[in-house]
Structure 1
Amino acid sequence: MGFMPGVIEGRDAGADALAALIAFLKAGGYRFVTPTPATHARVLARPENQRARDLRGIFGWSLNFAAELVDAALLDRLREAGIVVAGEGGLLRSRVRVSSLGQDLFVHSAFPTDGRDAVFFGPDSYRFARLIAEELRRCPERPGGRLVDIGTGAGVGAIVAARLCPAAEIVMTDINPAALRLARVNAAAAGVAASFVIAEDLSAIDGALDLVLANPPYIIDVAGRAYRDGGGMHGGEVSLAMAQDAVPRLAPGGRFILYTGSAIVDGMDQLRDRLGELAAAERCTLRYEEIDPDVFGEELENDVYRDVDRIALIAAVIAR
């Protein structure tokens, strides 16, 4: 289910309540690592996991819960803002999850993420964060650079990069207003100042860019959900389009860091080939690596993947 924080009497009560939730959970040492949806579903299918026993059950596993498990004053704020609603059997449920990554907590959509405006966070978010950290430790950005996180979602890429590039100007973009509102909450909680732009490309952002980050969807989604559908090229089309938009805008020394998946057909990686052509045309260099050779194997049972050998997770860095 997607979630848009409520606005009450001219103030963003949803954002205020989410900020209070993050602060409360941080103070209590809350930690939760979000698994894949398939793993999440398997854990919830266990008989003992029908209702929450603690805060991880409420804000991590998205279980129904009894009111006494949450601080009463905080619960009132969450209910007023529509973040906590009626659940099953007279219990309550949260419309958001909160996941930990390093020192930060990130608010995102509750399980299951089947809403068209769902804001996703999961294993890919952790891998994306690791890629950014490794890349920027090797080559720190120059002071005063402009950093754009395309399709920011919950804001993971920009927030991780901002901690490594504290002098950079941070811009987060997304086509989903619900994502940008949660990214704004997460950035504020992390102490990261940023601009937020509703856009499907970089046309609303002026000038050359020093660093562009992207973690686009890479699976063909029959429901057409924007956060999950990678489009043509067996799911690689959105990744390529982001690269084609970003690379020509790179300043001298600028980089485009891409974490995504690529369908391998008859041993060939079309996304790698197309990115190589783009880099050559723009007189840039390309570093391309398979992070994991085989993920989401169950997708190969669908007709749209009938000619695909495997889906690989890849990291690509195009530098000018």
Structure 2
Amino acid sequence: MSKTQVLDGKQLSLQLREEYKHAVEKLKGKHITPKLVVITVGEDPASKIYVGQKEKTARYIGFDFEWLTLKHSITQAELHETIEGLNDDPTVTGMIVQFPLPKHLSQVAVTEVIRPDKDVDGFHPYNMGKIVEGTGDLYPCTPRGILRLLDRYNIDIKGKDVTVVGYSQIVGKPLSILLANMGSTVTITHLLTRELHQHLIHADVVMVAAGSPHLVNEEDLKEGAIVIDVGINRLDDGKLVGDVDYEGVFDKVSAITPVPGGVGPMTVAMLMEQTILCACIQHGLNSEDYIDGVSL
């Protein structure tokens, strides 16, 4: 029988949801009700599904929630004006602009307009810079979710050799820096890396966020490796799979995240956690009093 540990992000996210609900009750005792605003532009069906998930979770936890749906033809200046209004609104704790945006809008420019202490996604250059400095509070939510998952499963990565596959602004780059800050020896790779296998086979921990189905197979991993699969890909038959061949590697690794049900639910959970963090920052409260283990 396999002794492989399944790192169940779905189950943990449900547990965290209850913890956040308690945190919000404590905040309301201080007359603070976190409010999360999500902005969507145009009619992207996938975005509607994602925002619906966020709304359901946010309302369950006890947040006030507002969903602003803006027309596809909105100009950059008009979108910035909307965001500035939310920046100035004291009732708004945090905001998310749902990506992707229509092609005529700059996602980078939008990210820079959001006030850093209302930046629930953690993408603002100020918050990214604080990650490099090692003093950040708000991180991109997928890396934060990965670290929270490892922490709750008592997996210590200090001193471990970690190979990250993927170098996006959202996952790979911030994740690599956070891992290094925590004492891991980090190798950064991507789809153009030559001899990718050689960078994987000696790693204690492999984290894959490349968007390429079954990129990593059993022969790429050493016995007992820990695998974090961020990828989510839909095959022609409709099946959702990760970047790792889950069934193929399962008996060889010591721990692995499933797809779906691993990193994805943790990302949504971290959006909620960071909204609570934003509330604490804005009101000068110690976040440790509200969220267990918030300092990563």
Q: Same fold (TM over 0.5)?
A: no
TM-score by length of 1: 0.37
TM-score by length of 2: 0.40
Structure with more of its chain in strand, by fraction: 1
Structure with more of its chain in helix, by fraction: 2
